[in-house]
Amino acid sequence: MIDAIQVTATDLINGIAWGQWLSAGFLLVLGIVLAGFVARSTGRVLEKRTSRHHQVLIRRLFFYLVFLLFAMAALREAGFSLEVLLGAAGILTVAIGFASQTSASNIISGLFLVIEKPFEIGDVIDVDATTGEVVAIDLLSVKLRTPDNLYVRIPNETLIKTRVINRSKFPIRRIDLAIGIAYAEDVEKVSTLLLDLAEQNPESLEEPKPFVLVTGFGASSVDLQFSFWVPKEKFFDGRGSMMVAIKKTLDKEGIEIPFPHTSVYAGSHSEPFRVQLLGPEQQKDKDFPDVDKHD
């Protein structure tokens, strides 16, 4: 029995075309190495000619094309018939397509994103309630990194169906600040002060010009909108420094910034709270009621 098993194993080993399999394995390894080399070389050539988004797509395209050619050559070298494999691959593709309609939808949506190009790698976008920097645009999804360093994956289909805001599309952005001043203050004086601050702020651009608008009359304030333009990479620095400068300037000029006041009311059937101002002597009697009695 043991001799029969040994003979069978020996026949199987001797029947394997080791040369063909070694050649096929060598072709696969060579294909991976060459595909990576071609992809990196293509990326370096296109580094200064195209965007990061296009660089990633073209690098992946060249990698898979080169690897696919070597993989087909390896299969042929191993003795497989490519016609049969292609037929089986077609049937398998149809079956997978029916079983993964969501994935197919994401792939098609990804193609539309590539063609339309509403954003690129490195842009900051808003999708629903998520804001983040685009770190990858893949076949099925887009990956974002949020300001608090979270990794968010959003399916391509969602991006096609949802309103997307690109905060980095244009080189400059406008900052709108809402400011309220008391009704007794001079609106024209405040407008002049705000425009002077925009002129002095190093982040603010001269063109387009900053401006101040009266947007309404609130319950306790005249509402103003102060708008100025900054480079997109200076948005948060410009906003923060300008708000600090506005507060200091208005305090220095004695301009009141009204704030909400809260009144305590017990209801229509309750008596009002009694408020009484105490003088120094009355306050002393309240704090030490029994001092005079002991004297």
* pLDDT, tens only, 53-65: 667 767 777 788 8
Quote the number of domains for the chain.
3
Residue 68 lies in a domain: yes
Instruction: Find the mean pLDDT for residues 249-262.
Output: 84
76, two tokens? 């042929």
217 plus 191 within the same structural domain: yes
201 plus 123 within the same structural domain: no
121, two tokens? 């790698």
Residue indicated by tokens 């909108």: 225
Residue 105 lies in a domain: no
Residue 290 lies in a domain: no
Q: What residues have CB less than 8 Å from 36, skipping those under 6 apart?
A: 63
Residue 41 lies in a domain: yes
64 plus 31 within the same structural domain: yes
155 plus 203 within the same structural domain: no
70 plus 141 within the same structural domain: no
130 plus 78 within the same structural domain: no
Residue indicated by tokens 């603010």: 204
6 plus 80 within the same structural domain: yes
67 plus 133 within the same structural domain: no
* pLDDT, tens only, 257-272: 887 766 666 555 556 5
Res 61: pLDDT: 78
122 plus 155 within the same structural domain: yes
pTM for this entry: 0.57
224 plus 152 within the same structural domain: no
Structural domain range at position 156: 118-166
pLDDT at 188 over 90: yes
Residue 295 lies in a domain: no
